[in-house]
Amino acid sequence: MPNSRKLTDAFKPLPRRPAGFCFGCGPDNQAGLGMRFFSDGGIVVSQVVVPDHLCGWGKVVHGGIVATMLDEVMGWTAIYLLKRLVLTKSLQVRFEKPLFAGQLLWLEASIMEKKSEREALLAAEIFNPAGERSAVGEAVFALFTSEAAKNLGFLDGDLVEEIAGIFLD
C-alpha cells in the first residue's frame, strides 16, 4: 500500500526558532534530528529521515530515538494547539514495526484530552514509507503559562519570552 500521507497545502509550517540545540528540533544541533512541524489546525505532523548514527542493530532506528520523535511531535502539538509551554510527565511507546535510517518517516500527533488547565493527554503515530503504522505513543504533558515557566525556572526568562512571542497568545 503506497503512503498517502504527505504534506499538502492544508499543512502550514509552524514557526521555527532561528537557533537552538534541542536534539529533536534544534537547528544548531548537527547530531540531532532537525525535525520541522506542520499543522492543519487539528493535528501536527512532521517528516523526518533518521541519520545512520542513530541506529541500534544495523539500519534499525534505535528505540530511544523512536520514543524521542513521538515525544517531540506531541510536545509541539501541545505547544501549538493548546498555546502552552510543556514538560512531559509520562510517555508510553508501542513499537509495531521496525523503522530504518535513511527512510522518510511520517509522524502525526493530536490532542486526545485536555484534562485540566495544567495537564493534557496526547497521542502520536509514526508511519514508514509504505504507510504502515510502525510506532504509537501516548503522553501526559504538564501545561504551563509563560509566567509559570519563568517562576519555576525550567526555561531561561529570555527563552520563555522568545517562545511566547512566536507560539503563545
> In the chain, what are the domain boundaries?
12-167
What is d(CA 55, CA 66) in angstroms, rounded to the nearest whole number? 10
Determine the 3-state secondary structure of 6 from DSSP: coil
Give helix then strand counts, H and E, for the chain.
3, 7
* pTM attached to this predicted model: 0.92
Residues making up the chain, counted from first to last = 169
In words, the CATH class of domain 12-167 is alpha beta
Condensed to tens digits (0 to 9), the pLDDT of residues 63-106 reads 999 999 999 999 999 999 999 999 999 999 999 999 999 999 99
| Amino acid letter, 74 | M
What are 15-62's pLDDT values in tens digits? 888 788 899 998 999 999 999 999 999 999 999 999 999 999 999 999
From residue 84, alpha-carbon distances to 79, 114, 149 in Å are 5, 12, 10
User: Using one digit for the tens of pLDDT, what is the confidence trace for 103-156?
Assistant: 999 999 999 999 999 999 999 999 999 999 999 999 999 999 988 988 888 888
Q: How confident is the model at residue 169 (pLDDT cuts 50, 70, 90)?
A: low
CA atoms in the 13 A half-sphere facing the CB of 65: 24
The span from the CA of 41 to the CA of 37, in Å, is 12
Alpha helices (H) along the chain: 63-82, 146-152, 157-167
Question: Using one digit for the tens of pLDDT, what is the confidence trace for 148-161?
Answer: 988 888 888 888 88
Order of strands, sheet of 133-144, starting from the edge strand that comes earlier in the sequence: 12-13, 38-39, 44-49, 104-116, 119-127, 133-144, 85-95
